[in-house]
Amino acid sequence: MPSSEELLKRLGVDIDSGTLRLALTHRSFAYENGGLPTNERLEFLGDSILGYAVTDHLYRQYPDLPEGDLAKRRSAVVSTRALAGIARTLGVGEFILLGQGERLTNGADKSSILADTMESLIGATYLTHGIETARLLVMRLVGPLLKDVDALGAGTDWKTSIQEIAASNKLGTIEYRVEGSGPDHARSYVATLHIGGQAYGSGAGPSKKEAEQEAAASSWKMLRTPAKDAKEN
């Protein structure tokens, strides 16, 4: 496992060693090592700070947006999928302390574990430096996502968004074709979305559900592009 200093460098913050270790301690590791404290309380704290920081930004940045649109944009960037994507970009998985069972089943790449750890790190930053440094960390992490207007428009459930756009355009039946590979303890999946018999986007993930969501996200962007072009012309 690489030094925790490398993780702090990637995050752009300093967190004292004890708090950082707690933020990285998954319950599976804690239980296998005599009932150590876990990162779940820090996760609870970080979740609230994440929500506050994003809500504050959206409220100030978009003074004319109604509450429903603000809520949808917030949901898109505080979702498990979004936080896990940020964690993968930073390489957080390699620093998480996991029990043997989670290590054997590739827990370091599970979206739920990655997202929870990101929230824990936000909570740890708050405890070490206070709300303003934690808020700035959140904005560095989610800033690029907040600028992706198309992605924010779809919210967090890409499969539902695909159903809506396919129905409104009468494209036909939706089908996800999924293939798995690798050993049982480290399976990976690739899904391709077919609508009306035509193949659209593909996506990969450690579970069928995540692969299908990625395929839906890719397909949604493909389907939106012609609509946008037509509107602009």
* Unique residue bearing structure tokens 């898109």: 76
Helix (H/G/I), strand (E/B), else coil: 179: strand
The residue among 50, 34, 32, 52 whose CA lies nearest residue 42 is: 50
Which is the catalytic residue, given 102, 119, 212, 214? 119
Q: 5 a known binding residue?
A: no
Q: Is 5 noted as a catalytic residue in this protein?
A: no
End-to-end CA, the chain: 53
Q: How far apart are CA 4 and CA 230, in angstroms?
A: 50
Residue 109 known to bind ligand: no
CA 162, 166, 171, 172 torsion: positive or negative? positive
Catalytic site includes residue 47 = yes
State the catalytic residue, choosing from 47, 102, 109, 212.
47
Residue 119 counted as an annotated binding residue? yes
Whether the CB-CB separation of 108 and 93 falls below 8 Å is answered with yes
CA distance 174 to 194: 6
Cα–Cα dist 84/112, whole Å: 7
Catalytic residue annotation: 47, 119
Binding-site residue ranges: 43, 116, 119
